[in-house]
Chain A
Amino acid sequence: MSNITNQSLSEILESIKLKKISSLELTQAYIKNIENAKKLNSFVTTTFDQALENAKKFDNKPNNEQLLSGIPLAVKDLFCTENVKTTAGSNILNNFIPSYESTVTKNLWNNGAFLLGKLNCDEFAMGSSNETSFFGNVINPIGDQLVPGGSSGGSSSALAADLTPATIGTDTGGSIRQPASFTGTVGLKPTYGLCSRWGIVAFASSLDQAGPMTKTVNDCSIMLEAMSGFDEKDSTSINKKKEIYSKNLKDNIKGLKIGIPKEYRVDNMPKEIDELWEKGKKILKDLGAQLIDISLPHTKYALPTYYIVAPAEASSNLARYDGVRYGYRSEKGKDLIEMYENTRSEGFGDEVKRRILIGTYVLSSGYYDAYYLKAQKVRQLIKKDFDDSFTKVDAILTPSTPSSAFKIGEKTNDPVSMYLNDIFTVPVNLAGLPALSLPAGLDKKGYPLGLQLIGKALDEQKILNIGYAFEKNCGYKNEIKKWWS
């Protein structure tokens, strides 16, 4: 089967189950693709020997009862993997080999999958274009010199280029949904607390959430089911019965109420984003959903709030990188303090340093009330906007991003213009809600555009169902020419 790797995860699972292909053949096919795609720079580390070993083990004693039987998976390099280097895209962790496995990846392996490699990402997940990684830019398979989005840019690039059948990312302000939108793939940010944060390199702990990135909505439901679940080791993990998202996936959305927030039509938004939104509304309406105009009045304050809360949490989370217990250490400096300062200066990249400084400043004595406390209050207002709307609607439909993928270097000189990429995704993180980005069309340059479905807390099944129905009726298909191999 020469084209196995361009199939969806669920199709591949079926082929494995029916023994049309062995796990070893499947793994070899992905390894070949990865070796031919070095130009994309989506991998930081590959674990081919280990993957081949695991594939053989599966083939010798196949267990097809699991959600991810015999499936090789590459994951974002923010998830700690036991005995496999975990860098978070940073020089400061360039030599870090965890002695433990993150809960989310362990859940995947317990469901029959195994590791194929670690995917490039923005440094400490701080970025929207994968340009802040210590390991270099990642290329979007959609076009040479295009960014794959970020921070889960290695994940979106590898998925769209058929280098992994599905993957996982993390989303603090849009880092799953924006790259999914830029590459014509599906990305889900789950409800805060649904997937364990244990063993994930921390960025902003009240916002960080891991989630699946896949080619189809069905695949997304399978991955979410495999990775989610209560974890004692994460104090913010939600203790609830595990859901069977894949079995419960259905495409009947008749009578559901879909909110359309007027604040998501921003100034200077390209006409094609507006047209895409209209197209999305029509598809859902034709499927029997009811469209309802709603207002989320504090939307424009979400990004400024985010740029206080996230750097504040990051500055305290990243205080641990001191060059003493693990990670990079500078040889320069005459005493302990200078060793710290040089280690952190040489180990962190510019964007990470910028955010640590913002965070340190907004938390510093005399400024805390004016910035951090203010942001926490506005965050309350943003959450209340959603709470109010969800008394009237089942889900909310918006564009995923204000533009399609841009060129490498296009926005690096202006941090604020880079931050504006996340204007539609950030409010969801502040409110802790689930949101699904779906590929929905192309702009006039032929680059993918996505639409976002936002759900109530823990209502993943509903947005997956709406997404499933949408996907069947949208007719979007990624047609990527493999120009890189």
Chain B
Amino acid sequence: MSLDKEKIKHVAKLARISVDEAKVDSLTKDLNSIFKFIEQLNELNTDKVEPLTSILNQSLRSRKDEISDGKIREKILKNSPKKNEEFFVVPKVVE
């Protein structure tokens, strides 16, 4: 299969990345060559193979439902590009 420009713009929309119109052609070319490479996998019959979902022979641990930190609002807000007192500020969402 091959990816056309419209498909790539759609995927970019899903990924929330704006794509420069001037770069769409080279991006299409690169992605198609990568997908051609990836599609070698179709040579293999994997009908009877279980997918590998974890490399570890252990199930995920669960921890006690206990609070281990807190009162770190300032630390959390410290790196915010835009804030107002104790809030993150984003462009207006509701009119």
Q: Which A residues have a C-beta under 8 Å from some C-beta of B?
A: 95-97, 99, 192-193, 206, 232, 235-236, 238-239, 298, 300-301, 303-305, 307-308, 315, 319, 322-329, 333-342, 344-345, 348, 353-354, 356-358, 360-361, 364, 371, 373-381, 383, 414-416, 419, 431-432
Say which size band chain B's interface belongs to. Answer: 35 or more
A340 to B54, Cβ gap below 8 A? no
7 contacts between A and B (CB under 8 A): A307-B37, A325-B80, A360-B14, A374-B42, A376-B52, A377-B49, A379-B52
Q: Tell me, yes or no, whether B65 is within 8 Å of chain A by CB.
A: no
| Complex Cα–Cα for A432 and B82 (A) | 40
Residue from A239, A308, A315, A380 with most neighbouring chain B CB atoms (10 Å): A380
Check A381/B46 contact, CB under 8 A, given A192-B55, A357-B11, A360-B14: yes
Given A336-B93, A416-B34; A360-B80 close (CB under 8 Å)? no
Verify B52–A377 contact, CB threshold 8 A. Answer: yes
Q: Which of B6-21 contact A (CB under 8 A)?
A: 8, 11-12, 14-20
Task: List A contacts of B51 (CB < 8 A).
Answer: 373, 376-377, 379-380
B92 to chain A, nearest CB (A): 7
Task: Give the Cβ gap from B70 to chain A, nearest Cβ, in Å.
Answer: 14
Contact B18 A95 (CB under 8 A): no
B34→A415 contact, CB < 8 A = yes
Question: Chain A contact residues: over half helix, strand or loop, or mixed?
Answer: helix
B16: chain A residues at CB < 8 Å are 319, 322, 337, 340-341, 344
Contacts of B49 in A (CB 8 A): 377-378, 380-381
- Produce 1/0 per residue, B46-85, CB < 8 A to A: 1001111111101011010000000010011011111000
Task: Determine chain B's interface SS by DSSP, over half rule.
Answer: loop
Inter-subunit contact A335/B91 (CB<8 Å) = yes
In the complex, what's the smallest C-beta–C-beta distance from A229 to chain B, in angstroms? 15
Report Cα–Cα, A97/B80, bound state, in Å: 10
Distance A432 CA – B54 CA, assembled complex (angstroms):
9
The 10 closest A-B pairs by CB, nearest first: A432-B55, A376-B51, A326-B79, A329-B81, A341-B18, A377-B46, A380-B52, A99-B75, A377-B49, A360-B15
Cβ–Cβ < 8 Å partners of B63 in chain A? 232
Let me know if A376 and B53 touch, CB within 8 A. Answer: yes
Query: A416 vs B18: C-alpha distance in the bound complex, in angstroms?
Result: 24
Chain B residue numbers with a CB within 8 Å of A414 are 33
CA distance A373 to B33 in the complex (A): 21
CB distance from B78 to the nearest CB of A (A): 6
Q: How far is the CA of A348 from the CA of B20 in the complex (A)?
A: 13
Which one of B17, B35, B44, B80 has the highest number of Cβ atoms from chain A below 10 Å of its Cβ? Answer: B17
